[in-house]
A = this chain, B = another copy of it.
Amino acid sequence: MAELVKVVVDAMGGDLAPVEPVKAAVEAVKERKDILVILTGQEEVIHSELKKYQDYPTDRIQVVNATEVIETAEPPVFAIRKKKDSSIVVGLKMVKEQKADAFVSSGSTGAVLVGGQVLVGRSKGVERPPLAPLIPTAKGVSLLIDCGANVDARPSHLVQFAKMGSIYMEHVVGIKNPRVAIVNNGAEEEKGNALVKETFPLLKEAEGINFIGSIEARDIPAGYADVIVCEAFVGNVILKLYEGVSSELIHKIKDGMMSTLKSKIGALLVKPALKQTLKSFDATEYGGAPLLGLKGLVVKTHGSAKAIEIKHAIFQCVQFKQQRINEKIAEKIQPAQFPAPDKE
């Protein structure tokens, strides 16, 4: 067994805190022996929550007190600066100081993103750390990179996203030689906005990635590529529309099933099987979005994350650490000041 991987979990973050993060911590250490979970947040609240559980390895859950809570509505930069004793700031600092390997939070996305960059810091050579959620597809999952808060990326950012995303998909998700595609408004090479046109040849030339060209948004759910490269504004639209269309359609289907007596009876028979299939199209099964390219790992889970999602995120962190992803990223990302050597 490898050494313990230390994962900080924000016990105060998200709509369902502290109940779900604490539950996730307990389940994670029960399920795997190589994990130590550190819960940050208001000590008393966490301890009284932990009391609900018996029969878990108590030596592998620690509590670190943090008296403040950053609310979702707070301006992120200001919140990170001001609330030095918040569960997010305390947790991220532990990663920065290498007292922990990773930080998982369902709290304010903005605060986690800003905090990750400011407090943990970027890996050498990484120009912009992308937030990269896994999205469900017909074939499993794809990594949508970037969905972060910094929009209007440069071509060099997108090339780094492609490289970091490939490493993640290969070594954390386990897809050999992952197919990389750039989101475009057509399949032809001459298509694209200024950013895509400039990035396309760079991706074609980039070494160590399996670039397959453009992907139209229509083909994303079918699973045509494993690493979907785009700048964050577009990534945000894709991620949220995925959610919006699915939930609207499922609503429509439920309404349809309830519309006649005959269909109501049918619905009862169909329900168990349908539940199983729809689960595979549910983003929350995949355990949160990593913020890549930092000196440590930061994972953002949904604001409404339940224990199962947070637990998966914790496991992701273990895989990330054991697979030495940050070292692999550092090897592959060349610092910008040194131009890549010419090919011979």
Contact = CB atoms under 8 A, between A and B. Distances in A.
Contacts of A277: 252-253, 255-256, 259
Interface stretch (A48-56, A215-223, A290-298): A215-223
Given A151-B192, A244-B221, A248-B138, A278 B265 contact: no
Interface stretch (A15-23, A160-168, A229-237, A327-335): A229-237
Interface stretch (A58-66, A111-119, A266-274): A266-274
A241 interface: yes
Contacts of A246: 245, 249
A190 to B, nearest CB: 9
Given A241-B241, A248-B138, A265 B269 contact: yes
Contacts of A270: 256-257, 263, 266-267, 270
A216 B137 CA distance: 22
A239 to B, nearest CB: 8
Contacts of A266: 265-271
Interface residues of A, number: 62
A276 interface: yes
Contacts of A30: none
Interface in A136-180: 137-138, 149, 151-152
A191 to B, nearest CB: 9
B241 A217 contact: yes
A149 B190 CA distance: 12
B217 A137 contact: no
A199 interface: no
A269 B263 contact: yes
Contacts of A152: 193-194
Nearest to A152: B193
A151 B151 CA distance: 17
Contact of A217 (B149, B236, B249): B236
A185 B244 CA distance: 14
Contact of A218 (B241, B249, B260): B241
26 contacts: A151-B185, A151-B192, A152-B193, A183-B237, A185-B236, A186-B236, A216-B236, A218-B244, A220-B244, A221-B249, A234-B237, A237-B238, A237-B241, A245-B245, A245-B249, A253-B253, A256-B274, A256-B277, A257-B270, A259-B276, A259-B277, A262-B269, A265-B269, A266-B266, A266-B269, A267-B270
